[in-house]
């Protein structure tokens, strides 16, 4: 069974940018799933654009009478050193809006402590179980969503301390998960760079896109 066949209906895979969508589409095309059952689309960078773009696609499909039955947020990401190496594939057990909250003299306060909701959204267990089986070498853990990605050692250390189960950070997962609402959701990422001080020379975009294509092929094969 493929991810597309996991539930009746169509599967929506959303990415931030076109290059990610192209890498995912190449994997879908290489798999055995009926292409008509899998829709890959870039919806924009950041949680707000991702939420709005995903909600639009879900609404249009519902109105047309061909609703999506599951949503996967896919793309490349930064990996926490020692938790997810460059080139690795990661799956989010939970998607966490890591900068949704407030500063205080005692440190960062997540939105839960402010009484305004939750910053943590869990992956659909059935969809996550399938993806874990299809991608047995994937690293499983929390994936952080941030509007401002990490670029210093101090922020990296603070995030690692606050989120001991986090393996990667990206910018869209929480927005996609919020838009998905009751539609089964999961997040899949491949690691292009270590999280920490920005060093473009250490980024491995080609390897990450290749891993993304392989992961999509396994999920749809």
Q: How confident is the model at residue 51 (pLDDT cuts 50, 70, 90)?
A: very high
Identify the burial level of 107 via C-beta atoms within 10 angstroms of its C-beta, where 0-12 means exposed, 13-18 middle and 19 or more buried: exposed
Beta strands in 43-177 (DSSP E): 68-79, 89-97, 101-102, 109-110, 120-122, 139-145, 166-170
Radius of gyration of the chain (CA): 17
Q: Which CATH number applies to 6-219?
A: 3.40.50.1580
The per-residue pLDDT for 26 is 95
The per-residue pLDDT for 31 is 81
User: What is the reported pTM?
Assistant: 0.92
What are 186-216's pLDDT values in tens digits?
Answer: 999 999 999 988 877 778 989 999 999 999 9
Domain map of the chain by residue range? 6-219
């Amino acid at each position: 069974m493929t991810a597309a066949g996991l539930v009746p209906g169509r599967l929506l895979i959303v990415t931030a940018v076109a290059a990610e969508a192209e890498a995912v589409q190449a994997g879908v095309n290489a798999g055995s799933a009926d292409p008509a059952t899998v829709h890959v689309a870039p919806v924009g960078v950041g949680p707000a654009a991702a939420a709005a773009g995903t909600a639009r696609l879900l609404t249009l499909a519902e109105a047309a009478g061909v609703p999506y039955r599951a949503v996967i947020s896919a793309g490349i990401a930064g990996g926490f050193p020692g938790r997810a190496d460059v080139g690795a594939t990661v799956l989010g057990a939970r998607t966490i809006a890591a900068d949704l909250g407030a500063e205080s003299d005692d440190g960062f306060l997540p939105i839960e402590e402010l009484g305004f909701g939750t910053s943590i959204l869990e992956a659909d267990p059935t969809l996550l179980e399938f993806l874990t089986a299809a991608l047995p070498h994937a690293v499983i853990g929390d994936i952080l969503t941030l509007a401002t990605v990490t670029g210093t050692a101090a922020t990296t250390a603070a995030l690692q301390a606050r989120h001991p189960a986090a393996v990667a950070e990206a910018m869209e997962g929480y927005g996609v998960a919020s838009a998905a609402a009751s539609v089964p959701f999961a997040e899949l990422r491949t690691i292009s760079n270590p999280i920490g001080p920005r060093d473009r020379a250490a980024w491995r975009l080609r390897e990450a896109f290749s891993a993304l294509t392989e992961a999509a092929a396994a999920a749809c094969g």
